[in-house]
Amino acid sequence: MSVVPPGPPALDIDDSPTHEAPPPVEPPAPAGPRAGRALPCTVVLVGLMGAGKTCVGRCLAKLAGVPFVDADAEIEAAARLSISEIFATYGEAEFRATERRVMARLLERPPLVLAAGGGAFMADETRALIARRAVSVWLRADLETLVARTAGRSHRPLLNSGDARATLAALMERRYPVYATADVTLDATDEPPLATARRAFDAVRRHLAHSLSCPSESSP
């Protein structure tokens, strides 16, 4: 009789939304059919580690007058563990399962700017939900930019062992064709994050103006 070795334990997360930030004070309402709504649906920033999702996302939320949520921070708050601790104790598969669950919950909330973790958009289920309920923006960065921006930081477990440059290059190969399916693609440059956020805001508004309706309005 073969004995199946026990896998890592399942991660127990607090699914209550109590750790979420309260909505900000409403900005002045714009005139027109979208009056009172600074952004009609959630914007999800996707891209590799170091692309600037968290940093640019925070600026974009201020510009758009909606809350900012970082998916990794939500996962950490729900698990009461850092991303590195989750990887070390429970393994990557359990992290990914938690990430899918947290993303689904965040995508049910009223419009916000959501900085996804770099791997979130690779899950079919999450990508399908984003397509239905949000506008996705890929912050596309070259390898040099990603290496420079992630160097010397230890909070990304995938880059903590081996050659970070080689890991990022391999991830680019695997993930860029999938990130390329996002609604909007923006190149990450050396400009200040606020300038990238302004470009993102303009591109999202253009995208919404050209699509028939906001995804969150056309599907339940």
Ligand X SMILES: O=C(O)C1=C[C@@H](OP(=O)(O)O)[C@@H](O)[C@H](O)C1
Compute the residue count for the chain: 220
Torsion of CA 85, 21, 68, 50, to 10 degrees: -20
How are beta strands 42-46 and 68-70 bridged, if at all?
unpaired
Interaction of residue 72 with ligand X, rule CB under 6 A: yes
Interaction of residue 50 with ligand ADP, rule CB under 6 A: yes
CB of 40 to ligand X, least distance (A): 25
Give residue for tokens 């506008």.
135
Interaction of residue 118 with ligand X, rule CB under 6 A: yes
CB of 144 to ligand X, least distance (A): 17
**Helix or strand (DSSP H, E) at 43:** strand 42-46
The reply to whether 52 sits in an annotated binding site is: yes
Residue number with CB closer to ligand X (48 or 214): 48
Interaction of residue 54 with ligand X, rule CB under 6 A: yes
Task: Point out which span in 134-142, 155-163, 177-185, 187-195 binds ligand X (CB under 6 A).
Answer: 155-163
Q: How far apart are CA 2 and CA 65, in angstroms?
A: 58
Burial string for 51-63 (b: 16+ CB within 10 Å, else e) reads: bbbbbbbbbbbbb
Q: Per CB under 6 A, which of residues 96..115 are in contact with ligand ADP? A: 115
119 binds, among Mg ion, ligand ADP, ligand X, none (CB under 5 to 8 A by kind): ligand X
Selected from 44, 53, 57, 130, the binder of ligand X by CB under 6 A is 53
